[in-house]
Chains A and B, each alone.
Chain A
Amino acid sequence: MLPENKLELVCPAGSLPALKVAVDNGADCVYLGFRDDTNARNFTGLNFDAANARTGVEYAHAKGAKVFLALNTYPKSHGSERWTKAIDQAAENGMDAIILADPGLMQYAMKTHPQLHLHLSVQGSATNYEAINFYHEHFGIRRAVLPRVLSFAQVEELAAGTPVELELFGFGGLCVMVEGRCSLSSYVTGESPNNCGVCSPPKAVRWQKTAKGLESRLNGVLIDRYADDENTGYPTLCKGRFEVEGETYYAMEEPTSLNTLELLPELLRIKVRGLKIEGRQRSPAYVGQVTRVWREAIDQCMKNPQGFSVKPAWTTELGKISEGQQQTLGAYHRPWK
């Protein structure tokens, strides 16, 4: 069990260099995935093979940091050995927890490696304590990562109804849809987070200069079109501009990053245990920068929650690397909805 006032900083590791940078800059935990469709950031050139994972675990443990394995896609029947093998490997490598979404896999992990700590992935779509308690009762999960759709008041209500530790996204990409409940990407490209571990996959993206502007397309579908003076963004399909009844606008969500620095004292107060940074697809430099800022912020907050205030320098530094250079409190702040 963690001490009462401990909030762990959980940082993304898309590669061994990113893992080392995160640990060196003060991450309490890092999370990583193997190099295949068993995790929700199945991108070319990213993630770990067995040897890298072993090295990563040794490096992190030597410096007192924990390692979580993200195994958060849903296996189809054929090829599910990839997932169960990954669980076996996590156990062998001495990983501190595995992050799962699929109940069938949880059952396997619980039976085969009862000592392994299980975390419920954000892809498990648990947005209420009854759902979290379901996974707790049946599989003994220790922690649940909450989808980025709950308001702070709802998180507080949820926290009071479950013995399971909670981990919240604090910074990085913002899914406007409930994770695990979104098939937009497979509708357009055939591949989704649930079935392939990807959203709006790069191989389906085309950029084209036209007389009307620079166009981004996903498997042929026009996601956005940019004038010369506009910043372009990756065509994640929920962050494009579309037309509804004659109005063209970001119909679902602007290109923006989640940033919950100012909520830190409140998160501590309701005993949130993990503060998760999104971005296994980002560079080691990015991971280092973000980890540094959040380490400092969390340390200050744990030392003196009442006197905590967000330093302008933190906001500036994070602003420079945010998607669309914009930041939001997202759903935690009710009016966002």
Chain B
Amino acid sequence: MKLALGPVLYYWTQEKLQEFYEEIAAAPVDIVYLGETVCSRRHIMRLSDWLEVAEMLAAAGKTVVLSTLALIESESDLKSLRRIAENSDFTVEANDMGAVHRLANRMPFIAGPYLNIYNPQTLHLVASLGARRWVMPVEMSHEALQPLQQLRPEGMETEVFSYGRLPLAFSSRCFTARFHNLPKDDCRFLCINDPDGKTMRTREGKPFLVINGTQTQSALVYNLIGDLDSLRNAGVDVVRISPQSEHTAEIIRLFRDRLEQRISPENAAQQIESVMPEAACNGYWHGRPGMEQMFLASAMQHE
């Protein structure tokens, strides 16, 4: 299985991004997704800046993919989309059917996790339009994945979101601006102060969700490092890690060590704990509520 690094979902400064991707260039990851997928108002990086990062990563041997916005609402959002879709150097991840419309039958593309591909019919449709890889919706279980794998179109790769706070919902409302009592149109880009989002707790203090501008994430960290054997058995080709502000390179290394059987699932799960911003969950993969943590099958056998 290959390792991929998903797009940075938070708003980071240009310096922070620069530093981050320089570290990633040296990390044992095969594919890197780049670009702003959450909020069209975030403007620190222009396409030309992303392309520079892309070239740097490509020179370091990474396969680079440009990701598009998940929520496209205005003509100016569409303009940015077209610019990305028309680039001639890098493959594009479509995160909205509008993006699929621009890419269809023009160039091979990646069908992103927000396209709601839940069955083989839809998978075959995107394949016929040029998709070469698809990213499973985060809420899908390995059992639900099976029939799609069995009837998978020729040459189609399957990618699974395997580490990071889960991107659970998109809104056009900005919840960070709402927290600051500001209208979205005058948000002052305050989400730049939350490099891992803002934690939302229940009234009894339990970490529940994370506010990331217009995106809502899980507070718990989805973590399938202990489940990689079952991903492999399910015929998954690419394992996606979602960036966090600290320790991402270390997390990539742990996943790599686990993929190459250098450490056991228990050992990997234990080591990764110290670099996670919150406790782990893996319920979705096991057909349970996403927030639940199922114990490792091998650990249970030892009990």
A contact residues vs B (CB 8 Å cutoff)? 74-78, 80, 101-105, 107-108, 124-131, 133-135, 137-138, 149-151, 154, 157, 176-178, 180-184, 186-190, 192, 194-195, 219, 221-225, 238, 241-245, 247-248, 251-253, 331, 334-337
Q: How far is the CB of A281 from chain B (nearest CB, A)?
A: 21
Stretch at the interface among B43-51, B165-173, B265-273: B165-173
What is the CA–CA distance of A130 and B98 in the complex, to the nearest angstrom?
4
Any A CB within 8 A of the CB of B54: no
CB-defined contacts of A187 to chain B, threshold 8 Å: 139, 166, 168, 218, 284, 289-291
Interface range for B: 35 or more
Any A CB within 8 A of the CB of B283: yes
What is the CA–CA distance of A63 and B70 in the complex, to the nearest angstrom?
43
CB-defined contacts of B61 to chain A, threshold 8 Å: none
What is the CA–CA distance of A125 and B200 in the complex, to the nearest angstrom?
25
Pick the 10 closest A-B CB pairs, nearest first: A104-B121, A77-B147, A130-B98, A134-B101, A74-B118, A149-B172, A187-B290, A131-B98, A131-B97, A337-B184
B contact residues vs A (CB 8 Å cutoff)? 70-75, 77-78, 81, 96-102, 104, 114, 116, 118-122, 124-126, 137-140, 144, 146-148, 151, 166, 168-175, 177-179, 183-185, 198-206, 208-209, 211, 216, 218, 283-284, 287-291
In the complex, 10 of the A-B residue pairs with CB atoms within 8 angstroms, ordered by the A residue number, are A103-B126, A127-B172, A130-B102, A133-B101, A134-B97, A182-B168, A186-B289, A188-B289, A219-B289, A241-B203
**A75 touching B98 in the complex, CB below 8 Å, given contacts A178-B170, A242-B203:** no
CB-defined contacts of A124 to chain B, threshold 8 Å: 97
Most buried by A among B70, B118, B218: B118
| A183/B172 in contact, CB under 8 A | no
Nearest neighbor of A149 in chain B, beta-carbon distance: B172
CB-defined contacts of A108 to chain B, threshold 8 Å: 121
**A183 touching B138 in the complex, CB below 8 Å, given contacts A77-B147, A134-B101:** yes
Q: How far is the CB of B140 from chain A (nearest CB, A)?
A: 8
**A103 touching B122 in the complex, CB below 8 Å, given contacts A178-B170, A183-B168, A252-B175:** yes
What is the CA–CA distance of A251 and B197 in the complex, to the nearest angstrom?
14
The secondary-structure label for the interface of chain A is: mixed
| A186/B139 in contact, CB under 8 A | yes
| A127/B71 in contact, CB under 8 A | yes
Most buried by B among A103, A194, A222: A103
Extra pairs beyond A130-B78, A131-B101, A244-B201 (11, CB < 8 Å): A77-B148, A103-B122, A104-B120, A104-B122, A154-B74, A157-B75, A176-B171, A187-B291, A190-B283, A225-B203, A334-B184
